[in-house]
Amino acid sequence: MAKEPKLALIPLGGLGEIGKNMMAVRFGENILVIDCGLMFPEEEMLGIDVVIPDITYLLENKDAVRGIVLTHGHEDHIGALPYVLKQLNVPIYGTRLTLGLLQGKLKEQGVAGEANMHVVKPRDTVTIGPFKVEFIRVSHSIPDAVAVAVHTPVGVIVHTGDFKIDQTPVDGEVTDFYRFAQLGERGVLVLLSDSTNVERPGYTMSERMVGATFDDIFRQARERIIIATFASNVHRLQQAITTAYRYDRKVAIIGRSMINVANIAHELGYLHVPEGTLVELEEANRLPKNKVVFLCTGSQGEPMSALTRMALGDHRQVEILSGDTIIISATPIPGNEKLVARIIDQLFKQGAHVIYEAVSGTHVSGHPSQEELKLMINLVKPRFFVPVHGEYRMLIKHAELARSMGIPAENIFVAENGQVLEFTRRSGRIAGRVTAGRVLVDGLGVGDVGNIVLRDRRQLSQDGILIVVVTISRELGQVMAGPDIVSRGFVYVRESEQLMEEARERVKEALEKCNDRGLSEWAAIKAQVRDVLGKFLYEKTRRRPMILPIIMEV
């Protein structure tokens, strides 16, 4: 009897976390990658700019990788490509806006020349190795989002990407329910579905709701209006521009990332701007206050963003004036609540009227709530179900939801990054693991900052550093000069002279002991100094600064 063909799904990111989404689909010696995103650093990742998936597995199987398919243009789905393409230059497939935004990112990082990009549109099917990949329109908080159906020799995989079921989307492009239902009718092996909002009952509101709220606010506002939102939310920008035009206001866009997205979306025809509505910032500043709207970044309280700089009074061209209406059109991403609250406080202090509450209708999510997730499962009717895109509790909740919809528990897999899910036409199991994890990007260094460097940074940030400099005679092994102690972030030396003096004495004693015992190995001497000084300082201060002994020979 011939062996049954097997298909493997290998999540390399996006499970047990929000961000850095990446899924590998493997059949024989062929790998297809869906999405390639980044994640923003957590609080304890000091100095890290972004986090990208570990692609060791893909590099080990470089010759098998046939291409990368993108579901939409958000950072957590395309942001790692500038780093990944340097090591793995394979064809990339995505819709026009997605590839337009990616092209901009690649140009910034100087890797645009080599990229081999293929534009697709909803309902297109492309053949990539043994896979037939079909793109299906979905709604999300960025235009041109798609789900992918991968037709493999074992069966059909449906990956929803990020989606919501919006019956009245801003661009009029409704989710392709018919195609999902057709696939469900013919039989789907595995459904991979977005878990971000699984904790919310009911339905996610339509993006049109925000337009109606904007209308109310614009009608009542007497002076300037400032709207902060995500740079990539083209539908939100569209609604702000349309409403401004309706109320005869001019619009100025502030913030590099938002200007980039607006330019790309406008060029490609995804953003429609009535003639004469957009103006430069200088011109907007000269207009009467009731004739302008500023669109800016900073809805998450990011330190370098336009809104934050305005709130703190250090934006070069715009200062907050009493009477301004400020709309924060986003909910804080978990972990950013404090940053956002601080900015809102600052804006109120400057006399602005700030509209930020979740109940105000100035923001709706781009992800599906429970009823939409149920509808997706009912349309697709998969044999196996794998929740993706979410923290662990969300994946568990989504698995419970699928079970309540009649999918047997043994056909639902809550996986972790790196686990290999293996399927035949009739069976599914977890079959081992591959390398997966986080690669930290700091400045131009990719992966050169690891756990040990982070541990050192944490120690430096909490307890500071002491540098002990000693000059020793090569022949006699005696101390010729020092020990001198330099302290940074530990204690203020001028106010702790006694402590420093005692510390110097302890170091001298340690060095004399080393000399008496005939220790001439530098490593041993340094270790001795570190031990003695560490114990002494902990007794005196209950702190453990990093201690760096520097020994010079003369």
CB crowding 373-395: b at 16 or more within 10 Å, else e = bebbbebbbbbbbbbbbbbeebb
366 is in an annotated binding site: yes
Closest Cα partner for 417 from 33, 53, 44? Answer: 53
140 is in an annotated binding site: yes
Q: Which of 35, 144, 166, 194 is catalytic?
A: 194
Pairwise CA distance, residues 88 & 65, whole Å: 9
> Do residues 79 and 104 lie in contact, with contact meaning Cβ atoms separated by under 8 Å?
no
232 is in an annotated binding site: yes
77 is in an annotated binding site: yes
442 is in an annotated binding site: yes
* CA-to-CA separations, 59 to 62, 182, 218, 359, 464, in angstroms, rounded: 5, 36, 53, 47, 39
Longest dimension (CA), the chain: 89
162 is in an annotated binding site: yes
Q: Which of 159, 235, 353, 367 is catalytic?
A: 367
Tell me, yes or no, if 367 is annotated catalytic: yes
118 is in an annotated binding site: no
47 is in an annotated binding site: yes
Task: Report the relative pairing of strands 465-472 and 479-488 from DSSP bridges.
Answer: antiparallel
166 is in an annotated binding site: no
Q: DSSP label at 494?
A: G
| Joined tokens for residue 239 | 């609604």
398 is in an annotated binding site: no
Dihedral sign for Cα 221, 226, 229, 235, please: positive
Phi, psi angle pair for 446, to nearest 5°: -110, 110
516 is in an annotated binding site: no
Pairwise CA distance, residues 248 & 228, whole Å: 20
Tell me, yes or no, if 216 is annotated catalytic: no
SS3 388: strand
473 is in an annotated binding site: no
463 is in an annotated binding site: no
Closest Cα partner for 150 from 129, 167, 171? Answer: 129
> Residue 489's CB: how many other CB atoms inside 10 A?
14
What type of residue is 486? V
233 is in an annotated binding site: yes
Closest Cα partner for 14 from 229, 193, 200? Answer: 193
Pairwise CA distance, residues 469 & 197, whole Å: 56
SS3 342: helix
Pairwise CA distance, residues 175 & 166, whole Å: 7
365 is in an annotated binding site: yes
363 is in an annotated binding site: yes
- Residue ranges of the binding site for substrate: 231-233, 363-367
- Residue ranges of the binding site: 47, 49, 72, 74, 76-77, 140, 162, 231-233, 363-367, 389, 442
Residues tagged active-site: 194, 367
- Residue ranges of the binding site for Zn(2+): 72, 74, 76-77, 140, 162, 389
- Residue ranges of the binding site for Ca(2+): 47, 49, 442
